[in-house]
Amino acid sequence: MLAVLLSALFLLAVTHTQPSEAQDPRAAERARMVAEIAAMARETGAETGRPRFGEAVMAAMGKVPRHRFVPLQDIFAYDNRPLPIGEGQTISQPYIVALMTDLLDPKPSDTVLEIGTGSGYQAAVLAELVAKVYTIEIVEALGIRARQVLGELGYRNVEVRVGDGYGGWPASAPFDAIIVTAAPAAVPQPLIDQLKPGGRMVIPVGAASDVQHLLLVEKQSDGRTTTRRTLPVRFVPLTRDRGTKQ
């Protein structure tokens, strides 16, 4: 009887300690990526004011399957670097995704607007953290593909629109937070208008030929905004009128 009991306990232990490697063969790669993000956050903490990212943000980075968003670069999916996604666009470096997400201070009840869906990866990370994500992509092929991948992964709290994001998404405004993943020459006024008092916007700003800076814009209760620079960055330009609205 004792032998049978021990055998049963051993089988239970094996069942619960075998990872998830069979179920999730990329888990170890994501864990390595998260460790690299944490190390880089410590190195840049003096500039960003964020030497350590929130646990929820890091958990989201460790969960979202980045390889699903870069099918042509699958082998490099968990390298801490940007990758091409077609149509002349890129998926941001994981550290930058984590930094921008953390700067938003996302809360479970938040509604967030993203300008520049790209592959859909940033929207997926946000979807792990907030109640609703509205995201706009001007390149139709990318927007359609991102919508498909997000749907396949079960992100029901993300709504993707193909169109010009410069004017935001007035019908669903105001937003608790806004994130922009392409660089305009200046912060678009419509996005400031659609940000709730107390809300935050993270946006790279600068002409393609100039040094761009990642900005944190905070809207005060009286409607005024404060802006703080964090890091010099390099994003694709925020383009207009290339897509069709849906």
Pairing of strands 175-180, 111-115: parallel
Question: 92 an active-site residue?
Answer: yes
Angle between helices 27-48 and 55-63 (to 10 degrees): 140
Give me 10's structure tokens. Answer: 């051993």
* CA dihedral for 232, 235, 240, 244, sign (positive or negative): negative
- Which of 92, 119, 172, 209 does the annotation list as catalytic? 92
DSSP string, 125-162: HHHTTSSEEEEEESSHHHHHHHHHHHHHTT-TTEEEEE
CA 125, CA 64: separation in Å to the nearest integer? 6
Phi and psi for 192 in degrees, rounded to 5? -60, -45
Give me 79's structure tokens. Answer: 């390298």
> Does residue 99 contact residue 50 with C-beta atoms inside 8 Å?
yes
CA 79, CA 57: separation in Å to the nearest integer? 18
The residues assigned a catalytic role are: 92
